[in-house]
Amino acid sequence: TTHTITVEPLGTELQCREDQSILDACLRNGVWLPHACTHGTCGTCKAEVLEGAIDYGDASPYALLESERAEGAALMCVATPREDVVIEGDVEIEEGITMYPVRDFSGTVAVLDEIAPDVRRLVVDLDEPMDFNAGQYVQLNLPDGDDRPYSIANAPHERGRVELHIKRTENGAATAGWVFDRLAVGDVVTLSGPYGKFYFRPDRDKPLLLLGSGTGLAPLVSILKTVMAIEDEDGEWEHEVVMYHGVALENGLYDREWFEQVADERDWFSYRPAVSREECDGRQGRVPALLTEDFPRAGGNVAYICGNPAMVEDTMRALMKARLFPRDIYREDFFDAA
């Protein structure tokens, strides 16, 4: 059974199955509603239901308060329609950015390497090319029917593949039993994407701070590679790009040699390890602390942050103290339930 969803204020009508989330139906029809976790826990996809009955799905009572629900709000990533529905959401239209509809993809595992302790690089050669913006993520389907979000680490011009950086988490359904044990080169995997509003705005025309921790580096690598492609195409890139990688131990600094080589070859790029539990290159500390040391004033930059919620929060705070304001900060909170 499908129902018609009308999305206000656009007035767009689209079809949604009873077993499909309203968010999924919107994204697959190119209607961009805000979203992050896609599992009913963060509240980013909250929208008003103006008309029609829905099933609220597995909405966390912390993400959707009882009082909000009483006033007609629902979480679009878990809500499914029971009849024709009219919603009003924070529909995003951003100038200069093309948002690509979400689609299903299949592909073959081309690379599966251990790049740091408990971190794997998974490269999937896609059967059909995917269009995405640097910084976005895919949902990788697990053998048990569930899925997990992973940021794409390659640049959008490499449309035929996706590179994902996957950390093993204890008891993680995706990682403990599958990516780290059974998955092998040559296997077929399926995924959907692109998702997310954490993407590079090349038009901002300012120096960049790329601030990642752990595998939160992945979308920032996509941004860096996009800048490199712009430089190749235009013959120049005129802004400084400073990338920090936060890890606990130095052996977690995956792809360090590659970043150092990029930094050697280009005077606009610098790579700064932020190792919290041991000294590295004469320094020690998390990203927010080293950032504060290096940038007592950060105004004039555009920052992209990706990591666990605590790292993102602390880094935001460090930037605001250094007088960089939210309009110049983009953030991706990594929900580490792999």
Task: Please list, in sequence order, all residues whose beta carbon lies within 8 angstroms of the beta carbon of residue 315, skipping any fewer than 6 positions away.
Answer: 211, 287, 288, 291, 303, 305, 307
Q: Select 38 or 154, whichever has its Cβ closest to ligand FES.
A: 38
Q: Minimum Å distance from CB 38 to ligand FES?
A: 5
Q: Which amino acid is at 301?
A: N
Residue 138 pairs in a beta bridge with: 150
Q: Is 41 in the site for ligand FES (CB under 6 A)?
A: yes
Q: Is 43 in the site for ligand FES (CB under 6 A)?
A: yes
Which one of 1-9, 30-38, 117-125, 142-150 is the stretch in contact with ligand FES (CB under 6 A)? 30-38
Which one of 29-37, 120-128, 162-170, 247-255 is the stretch in contact with ligand FES (CB under 6 A)? 29-37
Q: Is 38 in the site for ligand FES (CB under 6 A)?
A: yes
Which one of 41-49, 111-119, 169-177, 202-210 is the stretch in contact with ligand FES (CB under 6 A)? 41-49
Tell me the backbone φ, ψ of residue 219, rounded to 5 degrees: -65, -25
CA angle centred on 325, ends 323 and 327, rounded to 5°: 155
Q: Select 76 or 142, whichever has its Cβ closest to ligand FES.
A: 76
Q: Is 45 in the site for ligand FES (CB under 6 A)?
A: yes
Strand pairing of 208-213 and 302-307?
parallel
Neighbours of 188 (CB within 10 A): 10
Task: Please give the Cα distance from 207 to 27 (Å, whole number).
Answer: 31
Residues 200-229 close enough to bind ligand FES by CB under 6 A:
none
Q: Minimum Å distance from CB 68 to ligand FES?
A: 12
Q: Is 40 in the site for ligand FES (CB under 6 A)?
A: yes
Residues near ligand FES (CB under 6 A), total:
13
Judged on CB neighbours under 10 Å (0-12, 13-18, 19+), 93 is exposed
Tell me the backbone φ, ψ of residue 182, rounded to 5 degrees: -100, -30
Q: Minimum Å distance from CB 145 to ligand FES?
A: 19
SS3 category, 198: coil
Q: Select 76 or 324, whichever has its Cβ closest to ligand FES.
A: 76
Q: Select 139 or 154, whichever has its Cβ closest to ligand FES.
A: 139
Q: Select 155 or 191, whichever has its Cβ closest to ligand FES.
A: 191
Q: Is 42 in the site for ligand FES (CB under 6 A)?
A: yes
Q: From the list 24, 25, 44, 199, which residue makes contact with ligand FES (rule: CB under 6 A)?
A: 44
Q: Is 140 in the site for ligand FES (CB under 6 A)?
A: no
Question: Element (H or E) spanning 24, and its range?
Answer: helix 22-28
Q: From the list 63, 124, 138, 303, which residue makes contact with ligand FES (rule: CB under 6 A)?
A: 63
User: Residue 116 has which token pair?
Assistant: 């740091």
Residue 15 pairs in a beta bridge with: 4
Beta strands in 60-195 (DSSP E): 73-75, 80-81, 85-88, 103-116, 119-126, 137-141, 147-151, 161-167, 188-195
Site string for ligand FES, 76-115 (x = CB under 6 A): -x--------------------------------------
Answer whether 302's CB lies under 8 Å from 227's CB: no
Q: Is 316 in the site for ligand FES (CB under 6 A)?
A: no
Q: From the list 16, 25, 27, 36, which residue makes contact with ligand FES (rule: CB under 6 A)?
A: 36
Please give the residue ranges that form the binding site for ligand FES (CB under 6 A): 35-38, 40-45, 63, 75, 77
